[in-house]
Amino acid sequence: MTTVLPPKQEGTYTFASQPRAVPQRKKYREAVPQNPDGPMQYGNIMYDRRVVRGNTYAQHTLPATAQPDPIEIQRQQENRRRAIARKRAKDQLRPRSPDPVEGRKHIDVQTELYLEELSDRVEEADQECQTDAFLDRPPSPLFIPAKTGMDVATQIYEGDLFDFDVEVKPILEVLVGKTVEQSLLEVMEEEELANLRQQQRAFEELRNAELVEQQRLEEQERRHREEKERRMKQQREILRKEKETAEKIAARAFAQSYLADLVPSVFGTLSDNGYFFDPVERDVEQGFLPWLMDQVTYELDRSELGRLALDGLLREVVSKRIDIYDALAAGSAPASAADGRISAAPNSGSKEGEESTLEKPEEESAMSTVIEGGEAPAPLAAAPEGEEEQQAAPTEAAEGAESGEKAEAEATPEEPAAEAEAPAAGGEEEAGHSAAAAAATTTTTTTKDQKITKIQQQHNNNNNNNNNNNNNNNNNNIQQCSSSSSNNNNNNNNNYDKNNIQQCSSSSSNNNNNNNNNNNNNNNNNNNNNNYNNNNNNNDDKNNKSTLLEKISDQEKRIFSERLTTK
């Protein structure tokens, strides 16, 4: 709805508005009142404020000139303003009563002494009237048109539509049938399974029984068979043993008879070769006689020396006497008497020497040699000296051995065969030192050393029962065995080859058994055994594990064989 207020220029009034439809008037108020401030929507022209009412000729009209004087207008405005301001100021000056409380209004009240009847005032009474609150629109009731037409009824009695029993049968049959079938199936299934099980069980029973029977019979068979085999084996063993014994006996008898005369022949040969000797005789032959001869030679030499001295004396005496006689017998002196004496002097001297020597047939030969070899007294003198020294050495050694408790008696047999083997036949020196710091019993026995030129030193310190068995069958072996400390050191060193340098030093601890059996050439064995508690060191080279005794027997065998071959 648009209304356009026309500018008030002409005296006419125009009004134009867009045509609009008349709004429907609602019976009930709406929730929100519309447009409280806008111009009221009038329908009546008489109530429209815009319509001029009353006399129109007395109205304020605008002056002819359309354009009012701006100064006039301004002045009028000012006047108006002033008036308003005056009024306001007056109002303000006037004492007022305070503003009324909310919801009330002031009213004039007569406060003079004499009240004045107000006749122009109408008696008022407030009367209120209030409509009920607006209710919401109730739902429209169901429109049920009035019943029209004829009533018709119909009724289905039993048996009209269908016969239940008849109709239900097939359905029921199907239902029940299916159910029963299903359940039958399941039950049959289970029955079948149960039967299967039953059969299985029966079968299993039988099967187990049979199985067990079979196994039992197997077992039985096995046992019987084993028993039989065992018995047979036993029998066979017995037979075999018998046969073996019989054979052994036969072999023994035969061997006995065969070897019956082996022993005598062996002994015969040995004794022929001189292996069985009377030790006393041998000793006498070898030790005593040379010594005797030496002594004899010594004595003879001494006697010769004496005789020579005597000869010298005699010669001097004789020569002096000759001189004297010459001097005396410058004239005459018999010179024949002096020659006789001179010749008699050496003889007497020799005879004296003879008496002084021992009485043995060999001595004479020795004497004769001494006398005849009188030209070389020096080497002879030297020889006995050497022999003396030699003799001194073994005697010293003997003394040493006696004093100390280590006796190394070495018998050197003078077999030619043995000497043939020995290229360097030197003297043998052995020095045995026994540091008897601890006065313990140390016995060292060296058995049967048959080779020469060995330098052997043994240092045994701190010893309890040191048994050093050294079997050296070699040439040029240098062996040092130094076993120190502790108890029970058994050093068995068997060396069978040439050029054998062996050092065994076992120190400390208890019970060191060092068995060194070396059968190699040129082997240098340095066995330093610092062991504790029962160390048995058996060094066997070349698969030789023979015992000491066997070694000895081997040794003897070897020598024997060598003897045989060289013989």
Partner 1 sequence: MAGVVISASYPPNIDPTRTPLAYGDRAIPRLNRELNDERLLVRQRAVVSLCDHLHDPEHIAEALRNDIGMSLKNLLKDQDLTVRQKATECLFVMAGHALGRDSFLETESIYPVAKLFDDAEDIARKNAHLCVMRISETPPGAEGIVKAQFVGVLVNKLQTELNEIKELILDTLHFCMREDTQCALEANAMEAFTLLLKHELPVIRAKAARDIMDLSVPLAGKDRAVACGTLQLLKDMLIDPTKEVRANAAGAIMTITITTKGKYTALNCGSIPPLVALVDDLNSEVRLNAIKALTCLSEAPEGRQKLLEHVEKIRNHENDHIAAVAKAAKIAVKVITWLP
Judged by the rule CB under 8 A, the positions of this chain that interact with partner 1 are: 182, 185-186, 189, 193, 200-201, 205-206, 208-209, 211-213, 215-216, 219-220, 223
Structure tokens at 484: 């120190």
Contact 430, 456 (CB under 8 A): yes
Q: Is the Cβ of residue 175 or residue 438 nearer to partner 1 in the bound state?
A: 175
Tell me the C-alpha distance between 406 and 118, whole Å.
Answer: 182
Q: Is the Cβ of residue 213 or residue 385 nearer to partner 1 in the bound state?
A: 213
* Least CB distance to partner 1 at residue 157 (A): 20
Q: Is the Cβ of residue 37 or residue 151 nearer to partner 1 in the bound state?
A: 151
* 368: nearest Cα among 285, 312, 297, 307: 297
Q: Is the Cβ of residue 200 or residue 553 nearer to partner 1 in the bound state?
A: 200
Tell me the C-alpha distance between 155 and 95, whole Å.
Answer: 98
Tell me the C-alpha distance between 404 and 456, whole Å.
Answer: 16
* Least CB distance to partner 1 at residue 170 (A): 17
CA atoms 86, 92, 95, 98: torsion sign: positive
* Least CB distance to partner 1 at residue 205 (A): 5
* Least CB distance to partner 1 at residue 192 (A): 8
Q: Is the Cβ of residue 110 or residue 179 nearer to partner 1 in the bound state?
A: 179
* Least CB distance to partner 1 at residue 199 (A): 12
Tell me the C-alpha distance between 295 and 357, whole Å.
Answer: 8
Contact 536, 515 (CB under 8 A): yes
> Edge-to-edge strand order for the sheet containing 477-484?
454-461, 477-484, 501-507, 524-530
Residue 515 neighbours by CB under 8 Å, 6+ apart: 490, 492, 494, 536, 537, 538, 539, 540, 548
Tell me the C-alpha distance between 268 and 427, whole Å.
Answer: 34
Q: Helices in 122-163 by DSSP H: which ranges?
A: none
* Least CB distance to partner 1 at residue 215 (A): 5
* 367: nearest Cα among 464, 295, 278, 438: 295
* Least CB distance to partner 1 at residue 210 (A): 9
Question: What three-state secondary structure class fits 514?
Answer: strand
Q: What is the DSSP letter of 482?
A: E
* Least CB distance to partner 1 at residue 29 (A): 44
Q: Is the Cβ of residue 228 or residue 241 nearer to partner 1 in the bound state?
A: 228
- Neighbouring-strand partners of residue 505: 482, 528
Burial 151-182 (b: 16+ CB within 10 A, else e): eeeeeeeeeeeeeeeeeeeeeeeeeeeeeeee
* 500: nearest Cα among 519, 522, 484: 522
First to last CA, the chain: 174
* Least CB distance to partner 1 at residue 130 (A): 50
Q: Is the Cβ of residue 197 or residue 252 nearer to partner 1 in the bound state?
A: 197
Q: Is the Cβ of residue 201 or residue 241 nearer to partner 1 in the bound state?
A: 201
Q: Is the Cβ of residue 75 or residue 216 nearer to partner 1 in the bound state?
A: 216
Q: Is the Cβ of residue 88 or residue 201 nearer to partner 1 in the bound state?
A: 201
Q: Is the Cβ of residue 212 or residue 329 nearer to partner 1 in the bound state?
A: 212
* Least CB distance to partner 1 at residue 505 (A): 58
Question: What three-state secondary structure class fits 186?
Answer: helix
* Least CB distance to partner 1 at residue 212 (A): 5
Phi-psi region of 293 (alpha: psi -120 to 50; beta: other; left: phi over 0): alpha
* Least CB distance to partner 1 at residue 166 (A): 23
* Least CB distance to partner 1 at residue 227 (A): 9
Tell me the C-alpha distance between 364 and 360, whole Å.
Answer: 7
Structure tokens at 138: 């109730």
Q: Is the Cβ of residue 205 or residue 429 nearer to partner 1 in the bound state?
A: 205
Q: Is the Cβ of residue 84 or residue 212 nearer to partner 1 in the bound state?
A: 212
* 519: nearest Cα among 459, 464, 489, 477: 477
